Chains A and B, each alone.
Chain A
């Protein structure tokens, strides 16, 4: 069990304590999770899997609510454009 894990957000590495959610890693990387249908940047709102604002692609799996997923070593996160 690592005490810290490294994930990439749009290719840039982010080091976080284990137990951190992907949504948190994205905010720490200073990135928006997705662009809205009219092109606004959006980040997490509810933090509990209700609002879907934090949805991203994780390891190629699209539309995953990043607040519901814990970071794992080597995980590749791509925000939605």
Chain B
């Protein structure tokens, strides 16, 4: 176990997706010392996963180049687990841990898919929509496989398009939203700048793939692995054989790290001022955690946060107008893909809701709060620490999330032991050794 030296940065950026990349590049271009930390093997986030070596002249390649030219230090494979003292974060990787000291912090932890339970959703080969796409980007062969895409949100169309281009057969996309809200959304798209619409990865080039509105999965079947899915397709129940079910219900912001640092969160989103500064001074936040709005909004917010963190408020202010437009689009997404009440009753009593601890719907229904469920059933107490079942139970039972306690991710005992030693030293310094 190695403890690395402390890294010192003027601006430290956590999260290497579009928001974090924009923040890091803009801050470093101002001449301050910048570090960008991501837990993945390379930066790019989920949307630009695997594009770091891309040769094409895309938005992604421009930002990859800009980050590498900016002089920002890129630290990949590091996961932030705790804040041991003010202006320091503790991060670990497979072989050690290190302290990251900063003057100003930009949080860009991104978002994750929302999952809803239904019978059979725990079978292998039932994955998130973005989840399956990430697996394919990481080498999973999909050519010739039958994939049902289901859930809600623009991600479904983007994923179906991606999978089809890679040779998958998509018998149907089941979108829970109604035709009425999809039509309103479609009409509204026309009035938005193309960049913003492209920013959610929306592809309408889906000739031959049936998009079914008012549709959702009822059950996944199979012995050891998935072999077919029962769906409710615009009111009719249908059984469809398939190899994979790619199912996600839009996105939820990752707020664990902002919450740990004490940043205020309202309606599931991190609260920020016009310079993307959170309620904690010198801590900024950009991208999906402030509102689910896609890559274009994330890039603008990242630039504003990075510039503001580097003290360039005038340049940051010049981007406010663009951000205002992109934020309006986030509201449209929110309205269009709101979850319908029927999705609360997909579970059978025995359906697992908390996958880490195998807690059933029936056991959870006995409780009136997230805290009570956690204490009595261990729901949300497993390794994912409620990242999957937290947003699920919030929707199913209208429970409010709890406070976040360190470490924000399961950390190794060695990391925690080092942290404890550090606290002891501080304590003995404070008390003069008594």
Query: A63 contacts B383, CB within 8 Å?
Result: yes
Query: A50 contacts B138, CB within 8 Å?
Result: no
Query: B355 contacts A61, CB within 8 Å?
Result: no
Digit string of A11-32 for contact with B (CB within 8 Å is 1, else 0)? 0000011011101110110101
Within the complex, what minimum Cβ distance (angstroms) separates A8 from chain B? 17
In this complex, the member of B123, B135, B356, B358 whose beta carbon has the largest number of chain A beta carbons within 10 angstroms is B135
Query: B139 contacts A48, CB within 8 Å?
Result: no
Chain A: interface size category? 35 or more
A8 to B246, CA, bound (A): 27
Whether a CB of chain A sits under 8 angstroms from the CB of B380 is no
Give the chain B neighbours of A76 by CB distance below 8 A. Answer: none
Binds A, one of B38-46, B212-220, B265-273: B38-46
Nearest-neighbor residue (CB-CB) of A36 within chain B: B358
A19 to B139, CA, bound (A): 7
Interface positions of A from 46 to 81, Cβ below 8 Å from B:
46-53, 55, 61, 63-64, 67-70
B residues touching A (Cβ–Cβ < 8 Å)? 39-41, 46, 50, 94, 112-113, 115, 122-128, 130-135, 138-141, 224-225, 352, 355-358, 382-384, 387-388, 410
Known: A21-B139, A52-B384, A68-B39. A47 touches B130 (CB 8 A): yes
> Lowest 4 A-B CB distances belong to which pairs?
A20-B139, A43-B124, A47-B134, A47-B131
Q: List 5 A-B contacts (CB under 8 A).
A: A24-B135, A24-B140, A27-B124, A30-B225, A49-B40
Give the chain A neighbours of B410 by CB distance below 8 A. Answer: 52, 63
Query: B122 contacts A36, CB within 8 Å?
Result: yes
A61 to B412, CA, bound (A): 11
A51 to B356, CA, bound (A): 8
In this complex, the member of A16, A19, A52 whose beta carbon has the largest number of chain B beta carbons within 10 angstroms is A52
B112 in complex: contacting residue of A36, A37, A50, CB < 8 Å: A50
A70 to B130, CA, bound (A): 19
In terms of DSSP, what is the predominant structure of the interface of chain B? Answer: loop
Query: B140 contacts A28, CB within 8 Å?
Result: yes
Whether a CB of chain B sits under 8 angstroms from the CB of A38 is yes
Within the complex, what minimum Cβ distance (angstroms) separates B393 from chain A? 15
Nearest-neighbor residue (CB-CB) of A55 within chain B: B383
Query: B134 contacts A40, CB within 8 Å?
Result: no
In this complex, the member of A23, A33, A37 whose beta carbon has the largest number of chain B beta carbons within 10 angstroms is A37
A55 to B168, CA, bound (A): 27
In this complex, the member of B124, B132, B384, B410 whose beta carbon has the largest number of chain A beta carbons within 10 angstroms is B124
Known: A42-B122, A44-B131. 9 other contacts (CB 8 A): A20-B139, A24-B135, A27-B125, A27-B140, A46-B112, A46-B127, A49-B39, A50-B388, A52-B410
A residues touching B (Cβ–Cβ < 8 Å)? 16-17, 19-21, 23-25, 27-28, 30, 32-33, 36-38, 40-53, 55, 61, 63-64, 67-70
A20 to B139, CA, bound (A): 5
Within the complex, what minimum Cβ distance (angstroms) separates B345 from chain A? 22
Give the chain B neighbours of A55 by CB distance below 8 A. Answer: 383
Nearest-neighbor residue (CB-CB) of A38 within chain B: B358
Give the chain A neighbours of B355 by CB distance below 8 A. Answer: 36, 42, 45, 51, 53
Query: A32 contacts B224, CB within 8 Å?
Result: yes
Query: A64 contacts B138, CB within 8 Å?
Result: no
Within the complex, what minimum Cβ distance (angstroms) separates B387 from chain A? 5
Known: A24-B135, A47-B131. A42 touches B124 (CB 8 A): yes
Query: B387 contacts A68, CB within 8 Å?
Result: no
Nearest-neighbor residue (CB-CB) of A43 within chain B: B124
Give the chain A neighbours of B352 by CB distance below 8 A. Answer: 36, 40
Within the complex, what minimum Cβ distance (angstroms) separates A56 from chain B? 13
A41 to B112, CA, bound (A): 23
Give the chain B neighbours of A46 by CB distance below 8 A. Answer: 112-113, 115, 127-128, 130-131, 134, 388
Query: A52 contacts B135, CB within 8 Å?
Result: no
A81 to B320, CA, bound (A): 53
A37 to B122, CA, bound (A): 13
Within the complex, what minimum Cβ distance (angstroms) separates B304 from chain A? 25
Give the chain B neighbours of A53 by CB distance below 8 A. Answer: 355
Within the complex, what minimum Cβ distance (angstroms) separates B27 from chain A? 25
A21 in complex: contacting residue of B128, B131, B138, CB < 8 Å: B138
Query: A17 contacts B139, CB within 8 Å?
Result: yes
Give the chain B neighbours of A32 by CB distance below 8 A. Answer: 124, 224-225
Query: A52 contacts B383, CB within 8 Å?
Result: yes
A57 to B20, CA, bound (A): 31
B138 in complex: contacting residue of A20, A37, A40, A61, CB < 8 Å: A20
A47 in complex: contacting residue of B138, B356, B382, B383, CB < 8 Å: B138
A24 to B39, CA, bound (A): 18
Query: B131 contacts A64, CB within 8 Å?
Result: no
